[in-house]
Chain A
Amino acid sequence: MKNLLEDIGSRSRWPARLDVTQSVTGLALALFMWVHLVLVSSILLGKDAMYYVTGFFELKFLTGWTHGYPIIVSIIGIIVFAIFIIHAGIALRKFPISWRQHRIYRDQMSMMKHSDTNLWYWQAVTGFVMFFLGSVHVYVMISHPDQIGPYASADRFVSENFWPLYLVLLFSVELHGTIGMYRLAVKWGPFDGKDPRKNRKRLKRLKTTLTFAFLIIGIITFATYVKIGIDHRGSAGERYAPPGHSSAMLEGGEVE
């Protein structure tokens, strides 16, 4: 019989570290994506609102609303990309790694019709989709940090044909993020409280509500950019200037 009291310290701590890192990076990315959605959806308040939100993150207020520092966007992009790659790399451990494992998982889904088992599968599928589509988007943002604005972004949707990528990405991100946050909560138990089963039901309801809320906001935002992009197709490349801003002030930023 193995003496379980003596053989201490031989097992690696890396599985623990990886599990925590997967959760922490997932939490960071989900929170980032929720904030990202709020910022992007500022277009729903008008082109000026989106223009000022973008300008704020480029620190344009420091340069009298002229060029700003778009490199800030690149730096944020690089940090997010790094967290994204770490999260994806660690999460890969859990993916079915063979046809046999995938077949077993699908069989289990069809046999049990168990909601949390099904949700995990869709989380894995959307995660896989984001490996590729998310990377494309983040790389474009890192390499063209000054190309964010009411017209620049809308042109990317329509004239640069990014809309199919953004549409798939929208559904993938919102599903993956909310399912992931729910799973984080039940995995570590911070909201278990006195009645964990009741609280799990509440968390699940919250998850579903958030998924729909984010998807609705996202779809309306998507449609708004597409509409602006279509209207602006004739002068694609031209940058937005809010009323009262001279082109001299906006040089290097969103200028005509």
Chain B
Amino acid sequence: MIQAKDGRTLKFHIFRYNPQLEGDEPKMVTYEVKEAPGMTVFIALNEIREQQDRSLQYDFVCRAGICGSCGMIINGKPDLACRTLTSKFKNGEITLLPLPGFDLIGDLSVNTGTFNRAMSERVGTWIHDEQAAEKSLDELEERMDPDLADEIYELDRCIECGCCIAACATKRMRDDFLGAMGFMKVARFHMDSRDKRSDAAWYEIIGNDEGVFGCMTLLGCEDNCPKDLPHQTKIAFLRRKMVGVKV
């Protein structure tokens, strides 16, 4: 059972900057919050906004680690605020920064939408099947092996929170690098029997230094994915597949 240390006062050092406000400068502001049992960083942020500073910006939707909105840098690590218990920080000091690698909206809020949209279009994150248009809507969909469906579902757990992108020094150095989120989508559709793209077709998407051959295997994605997705093995799999593509 998770228990907060009784009576502990947490110190939140939070990055504050609103690019919309003329003359505003980036700064760190400290807030004190009384810790409650089972408190998450997200709950603490709510408390700060409700009781101390209504201008504090951060994103959230589901509060349950599913929507991927509340990704931020928590004491140096990208993670979801709603899934991070304050009790895990023994000294009670918590520094919060916005996810790097994305456009800043304000304070801890970043625009992952533009990035995700571009990534989806680049990878083509939908089933590609030239015959699809000719199929009747009344026709039953082809059967899929339940084990394959499970494997696809496992990779489909990506919530596009952006933690893997922020954790990747390669992506941060090189804007045009696809990043782990994109590779996870490729692995997911590559596996899907309904998607008719061949390895040669996938090579057109990720067969360059901005794609899988640009990955330096730093494994920040693998070690910081809030959903524990198998980034390491999937990127290695894609690399092996792409190397095997003949001219």
Which A residues form the contact surface with B (CB < 8 A)? 2, 4-5, 7-13, 15-16, 18-20, 93-94, 96, 101, 104-105, 108-109, 111-114, 116-117, 120, 183, 186-189, 192, 196-197, 200
The residue on A at minimum CB distance from B123 is A4
Task: Let me know if B169 is at the binding interface, CB within 8 A.
Answer: yes
CB distance from A78 to the nearest CB of B (A): 29
Chain A contacts of B236 at CB under 8 A? 186-189, 192
Whether B149 is near chain A, meaning CB under 8 Å from some CB there, is no
Which 4 pairs across A and B sit closest by C-beta, in order of nearness? Answer: A189-B236, A187-B217, A108-B169, A15-B213
Q: Which of B16-24, B49-57, B154-162, B198-206 contacts A (4 or more CB under 8 A)?
A: B198-206
Nearest B residue (CB) for A192: B233
Residue B111 is within 8 A (CB to CB) of chain A in the complex: no
A196–B223 Cα distance when bound, in Å, is: 13
Q: Which of B160-204 contact A (CB under 8 A)?
A: 167, 169, 172-174, 196-198, 200-201, 203-204
Chain B interface residue count, CB cutoff 8 Å, equals 45
Known: A4-B128, A5-B197, A116-B223. A186 touches B242 (CB 8 A): no
Q: What secondary structure prevails in chain A residues at the interface with B?
A: helix
CA distance A186 to B223 in the complex (A): 13
A10's closest neighbor in chain B, by CB?
Answer: B204
Contact: A104 with B239, CB < 8 Å? no
Which residues of B lie under 8 Å from residue A189 when comparing CB positions?
232-233, 236-237, 240
Q: How far is the CB of A92 from chain B (nearest CB, A)?
A: 12
* A103 to B: closest C-beta gap in Å: 10
A5-B201, A18-B213 known; A117+B169 contact, CB < 8 A: yes
Q: A8-B198, A188-B240 are in contact. Are A200 and B232 (CB under 8 A)?
A: yes
For the complex formed, measure the closest distance between the CB of A184 and the CB atoms of chain B, giving whole angstroms: 9
A-B contact pairs, 19 of them (CB 8 A): A4-B124, A4-B201, A8-B198, A9-B247, A13-B207, A15-B209, A15-B213, A16-B203, A19-B213, A105-B172, A111-B97, A112-B77, A116-B220, A117-B218, A186-B217, A187-B215, A189-B233, A189-B237, A196-B230
Among A19, A20, A105, A112, point to the contact of B76 (Cβ < 8 A). Answer: A112
In the complex, the answer to whether A15 meets B208 with C-beta atoms within 8 Å is: yes
Q: Enumerate chain B interface residues (CB-CB to A < 8 A).
A: 73, 76-77, 97, 100, 124, 128, 130, 167, 169, 172-174, 196-198, 200-201, 203-205, 207-209, 211, 213, 215-220, 223-224, 230, 232-233, 236-237, 239-240, 242-243, 245, 247
Q: Which residues of A contact B97 (CB under 8 A)?
A: 111
- B169: A residues at CB distance < 8 A: 104-105, 108-109, 117, 120
A13 touches B239 (CB 8 A): no
Chain A nearest CB from B97 CB (Å) reads 8
Q: Are B220 and A16 in contact (CB under 8 A)?
A: no
Smallest Cβ-Cβ distance to A14: which chain B residue: B208
- Chain A residue contacts of B233, Cβ below 8 A: 189, 192, 196
Nearest CB on A from B87, distance (A): 21
Task: For A15, list chain B residues within 8 Å (CB).
Answer: 207-209, 211, 213
Are B207 and A5 touching (Cβ within 8 A)? no
Could you list 5 further interchain pairs (A-B, Cβ under 8 angstroms) beyond the known A108-B169, A111-B97, A183-B217? Answer: A20-B243, A96-B173, A186-B232, A192-B232, A196-B230
Alpha-carbon gap, A185 to B219, bound state (A): 12
List chain A residues, Cβ under 8 A from B240.
188-189
Chain A residues positioned under 8 Å from B230 (CB to CB): 196
| CB of A115, distance to nearest CB on chain B (Å) | 8
Q: Are B223 and A114 in contact (CB under 8 A)?
A: yes
Chain B residues contacting A13 (CB-CB under 8 Å) are: 207, 245, 247
Within the assembled complex, what's the spacing in Å between the Cα atoms of A93 and B237? 22
